[in-house]
Amino acid sequence: MKSTTLNICKNGDITYITFPKLEATGLVRHIFSTKLGGVSPYPYGPMNMSFTHDARENVIKNYELLCGCVGIDTNHLVLSKQTHTNNVKVVDKSHCGKGYTKESFQDIDGLITNQSGVALVTQYADCTPLIFCDPVKKVIATSHSGWRGTVQEIGKVTVEKMQQEFGCNPADIIACIGPCISKCCYEVDTPVYDAFEKLEYLNLNKIFTDKGGGKYWLDMVEANKQILLNTGIKSENMDVSDLCTNCNSDILHSHRATKGQRGTIGVIIELR
């Protein structure tokens, strides 16, 4: 697995990804997991970040191993039950442990904080990871954007909530679009195309390729990029993935490649 836009890192048996523009801020610890380096059995692992199906002790160990690579305390983790909504929640230190050692938030697909020592976690297996950092207001966020979340503009909702709650200026925000299923592998049908068509500002010619017969290739990276640019985020402040989870399913969890027999990737970000 090679990338020209993201950092591919190794720590012992663990392979993980970081984002150059987030690294450059010096304000955050962050990490994007792969399948490699954990303790979970097939088909969930070795590195699996979801408590669904897998043994709890395996997932706890995986978080300990992954967080150890970048110095994140697992006591700081905040997870939520993601259900393809555009619901985004502001969290603080009182929420640490949610979804990890405490009962999870329900129906939340995005998390925001302005407090250090709060490690936001979102999870994926083909859907699009969105990660944000405002280095001026010192606010971070991460959101889970499947096609349903994307047509509900969860990226836009996240940025607007950062503005409303903390006075963030989109022009200051660094936004990262992480590895997801790419246009080369993501076939969808006419109802999905029709859902995107309702967002009139999108350039669908860049997002969809017509295969004929009511089938299309969908570019989720491009769709989310257009949505984020429309919020006022600058293209020069974006890290955009060039990795497809389906093409790299030996290293990245992919729901489509494995027909659902898989674990889950995790994104973790924390203000220092």
Q: What is the pTM of this model?
A: 0.97
pLDDT digits (tens, 9 = 90+) for 61-98: 999 999 999 999 999 999 999 999 999 999 999 999 99
What local confidence, expressed as pLDDT, does residue 223 receive?
Answer: 98
State which residues of the chain have pLDDT below 50: none
Domain ranges of the chain: 7-182+238-271
Q: What is the pLDDT of residue 187?
A: 97
CATH for the 7-182+238-271 domain, from 1.10.3720.10, 3.60.140.10, 3.40.50.620, 3.40.50.2300 = 3.60.140.10
Q: What is the pLDDT of residue 64?
A: 98
| pLDDT computed for residue 48 by the predictor | 98
| Per-residue pLDDT, 80 | 97
**Residue 104 DSSP label:** P
pLDDT at 104: 94
In this predicted structure, what is the pLDDT of residue 242?
A: 98
Distances in Å between the Cα of 101 and the Cα atoms of 75, 78, 95 are 8, 9, 11
Distance separating alpha carbons of residues 153 and 156, to the nearest angstrom: 5
Averaged pLDDT of the chain:
98
**How much is the pLDDT for 219?**
98
* Contacts for 202-205: CB closer than 8 Å, 24+ residues apart: 202/226, 202/227
**Given the DSSP bridges, would you call strands 119-124 and 238-240 parallel, antiparallel or unpaired?**
unpaired
